[in-house]
Amino acid sequence: EGDFLYGRGVEDNQQAIVSMLLLAEEVLAQGIKPELSLGLVFMADEETGSFFGLDHLLNTAPHFFNADDLYIVPDAGSSKGDVIEVAEKSQLWLRVQTIGIQCHGSTPQKGRNAFLAGADMALSCHNALRAAFADANPLFDPPYSTFVPGKHEANVPNINTVPGNDVFYMDCRLLPHVDAGNVLARIREVASEVEKRHNVQIVVSVVQQQ
């Protein structure tokens, strides 16, 4: 409608695809020969590791890219179109499983409450990781690394059951200089402390790391 495009996904990321194609089309229509060659690359899988997208292209068609190329990646934009992002945080997704002993809610002393220990783990990670990796960089918003407990799997269907198994996930976004291995090491230290407090077992596994 006029100069505006309305529709689902036009912000992230259909507007990027359309704007790239319109730019290439206009360059051809105007007979413009730019100082630099213009190439367009379309890839899938950006939100889930890029294994079937960029990673696949780099492994199967490395001739598409050169070391001295300049890259622009159209992504979710701003209303004025005046924001240029120069870097992104690293991504680390974790699965945290707490294994206790299931029992009846009326006799909690006979079990080991995996949900309670898992909640302790989530809060302890939140506090310990923010303290250990507190560096800031004003290029980013927010300017620090983040460690966010998110998805939580269902444990038991009954209110009167103490769960013996509990699983939650963490979304960690790390400043570029923060080593994911160091983050994992600190999380496993926290897990060891929580295990001792609640007499449970905690298994931390990587779902995705970029």
Q: Is the pLDDT of residue 78 over 80?
A: no
Q: Pick the most confident of 40-44, 63-67, 182-186.
A: 182-186
State residue 9's pLDDT score. Answer: 65
State residue 10's pLDDT score. Answer: 65
7 vs 23, which has greater pLDDT?
Answer: 23
Split at pLDDT 50, 70, 90, the class of 15 is confident
The stretch 14-42 carries a mean pLDDT of: 89
How far apart (Å, rounded) are the C-alpha atoms in residues 194 and 124? 8
State residue 88's pLDDT score. Answer: 86
The stretch 18-39 carries a mean pLDDT of: 91
Q: Is the pLDDT of residue 177 over 70?
A: yes
State residue 120's pLDDT score. Answer: 98
How far apart (Å, rounded) are the C-alpha atoms in residues 151 and 146? 15
34 vs 175, which has greater pLDDT?
Answer: 175
Split at pLDDT 50, 70, 90, the class of 201 is very high
pTM above 0.85, yes or no: no
Q: Where are the beta strands (DSSP E) in the chain?
A: 90-99, 103-104, 146-152, 161-162, 165-174, 201-209
How far apart (Å, rounded) are the C-alpha atoms in residues 147 and 44? 26
State residue 77's pLDDT score. Answer: 65
The stretch 41-62 carries a mean pLDDT of: 86
H, E, C per residue of 82-139: CCCCCCCCEEEEEEEEEECECEECCCHHHCECHHHHHHHHHHHHHHHHHHHCCCECCC
| Type of residue numbered 165 | N
